[in-house]
Chain A
Amino acid sequence: MNSVTVIDYGIVNLGNIVRALEHVGARVCVGSDPGAVSQADRVILPGVGAFASGMAELKSRDLDNALKEAALAGTPLLGICLGMQLLLDYSEENGGAMGLGLIAGNVIEMPRWGADGLRKRKVPHIGWNALQYPPNQSHWQDSCLAMIHQGEFCYFIHSYMTIPENPAHILAQCDYEGLVVNAAISQDNITGLQFHPERSGPEGLKILECFVRS
């Protein structure tokens, strides 16, 4: 049973994530109500755009509580890009907004400038970047990165980044012009990916395949 429910909360381009999941053999449901979440074998929370409006759309459908209950019940939950950021407590984007609070931590704007006042990097971070182990970690077994080798590339496109309170929840990182970006975070049955696995070629498909087999 490789069934997975992709959450449609009105702000998301679902076509490519659905196609990618089907490509790896998943049975995909698209759900936009709490019942769809509570019955799901696995849940993917995709997302592009602004944090506050994403959260507002979840709340307007009562999906925030459904996601929290599913997470508590042990349903595998994968947040992608904005969907990853929504897993945390708070984002400073556009004056600040509360998130789902499933993984303790915050979402901050990626710094453009160095201490010397010179521009250090362009934001958004757009492009392919290599996944690396965080400090004190040397494998990705038992995670959705299990089939990925360190140094393989995934596609990123974001202006904000997650800072989990507990560094042990960092699963993978990448280096963007000297800035360490948390590329993947996880806590028990909850995983967040800052990059887009559905847009990361064969490597990304392997990650989705791993998730739907979990």
Chain B
Amino acid sequence: MVRNVRLIARLDVKAPNLVKGIQFEGLRKLGDPNEFARRYYHDGVDEIYCEDIVASLYERSSLLDIIERTTRDIFVPVTVGGGLRSVDDVAAVLRAGADKVAVNTAAIKNPSIISDIARRFGSQCMVLSIQAKKQDDSWEAYFDNGREHSGVDVVQWAEQGQALGAGEILVTSVDREGTATGFDLSLLREVSDRVDIPVIASGGMGCAQDLVDAVMLGKVDAVAMAHALHYGICSLKELRDTCWSQNIPVRNRQDRNGSTPT
């Protein structure tokens, strides 16, 4: 009975730099996204998630260039998000080397784009990205990097997204994003319990135990991390070792130096 949890490196890009903020604000430039992506690939990351964080804000897209640059020599799956507004945008991004697309703003404004993308490219290609902000006892879906609120309930939106043909749900907690204070576990648990498709946790990871909690308590299938990796707080090897020690199956592989972890 194996379902290997995926460790995903999240690269938020403001061309031409990799950036990181706190709750999507106060962005710091960290360097060339391609260098970070390559390092994570060599350290055995399972997937890369790359988001052009200004695309939907300024109604423009420098995504193709970013994909080309970031995915050069990277042979693991790459998901791309940020400013995708049409099926044609998606086709262009896939042609440039992305494997999947993450859609947030366009889906909130026009939910049928989820079905359009799924029909054309398959559900496995269509990741519904949800930015969730806590409101008393529930969560509201936000867009434009947590700036605009939609009035849509996150859990209902996740269910609707699945019904429309999304193949995965990426849930980012706006409240926890960049804070390294741990995932919003009740948010993750609520979404995971209500959908049958894989759920990716994002926003808040500060240490290896947060990953374990997201899987064991939040019941997610994958964990996206930015802060913890970019600032060198956790290494992918350390995260894998932690997972194995807590009986969470992850991809086991030979590392680039030829040694085989047990």
Asked whether, in the complex, the Cβ of B75 is within 8 Å of the Cβ of A127, the reply is no
Residues of B within 8 A of A14 (CB): 95
The answer, among A19, A53, A158, A196, for a CB contact under 8 Å with B77, is A196
The answer, among A15, A175, A177, A199, for a CB contact under 8 Å with B76, is A199
Count how many chain A residues have C-beta atoms less than 8 Å from C-beta atoms of the other chain: 44
User: Across the A-B interface, how many residue pairs have beta carbons closer than 8 Å?
Assistant: 124
A132 CB → nearest B CB, Å = 11
Chain A residues numbered 27-68 whose CB sits less than 8 Å from any CB in chain B: 48-50, 53
Asked whether, in the complex, the Cβ of B124 is within 8 Å of the Cβ of A158, the reply is yes
B100 to A, closest residue via Cβ:
A157
Asked whether, in the complex, the Cβ of A15 is within 8 Å of the Cβ of B96, the reply is yes
Asked whether, in the complex, the Cβ of A201 is within 8 Å of the Cβ of B196, the reply is no
B69 CB → nearest A CB, Å = 13
A69 CB → nearest B CB, Å = 28
Residues of A within 8 A of B119 (CB): 50
A61 to B122, CA, bound (A): 21
Residues of B within 8 A of A13 (CB): 94-95, 97-99
Residues of B within 8 A of A121 (CB): 3
What 0/1 readout, one digit per residue, does chain B (50-78) give for beta carbons within 8 Å of chain A?
00000000000000000000011101111
B221 to A, closest residue via Cβ:
A122
B184 lies within 8 A of chain A by Cβ: no
Asked whether, in the complex, the Cβ of A124 is within 8 Å of the Cβ of B198, the reply is yes
B4, B6, B72, B75 pick with most chain A CB within 10 angstroms = B75
Given contacts A13-B94, A20-B75, A123-B196, contact A49 B99 (CB under 8 A): no
Between A and B, 16 residue pairs with Cβ closer than 8 Å are A14-B95, A16-B99, A20-B75, A50-B122, A123-B196, A124-B168, A127-B46, A127-B221, A127-B222, A129-B2, A153-B251, A157-B99, A159-B167, A199-B75, A199-B99, A202-B75
Task: Give me the interface of A with B, judged by CB distance under 8 Å.
Answer: 11, 13-16, 19-20, 23, 48-50, 53, 82, 112, 119, 121-124, 126-130, 151-153, 155, 157-159, 175-178, 196, 198-205
Known: A129-B4, A130-B252. 12 other contacts (CB 8 A): A16-B71, A48-B125, A50-B119, A50-B122, A122-B197, A127-B4, A155-B76, A157-B100, A159-B124, A159-B167, A203-B253, A204-B75
Task: Give me the interface of B with A, judged by CB distance under 8 Å.
Answer: 1-6, 41, 44, 46, 71-73, 75-78, 94-100, 119-125, 167-168, 196-198, 221-222, 251-253, 256
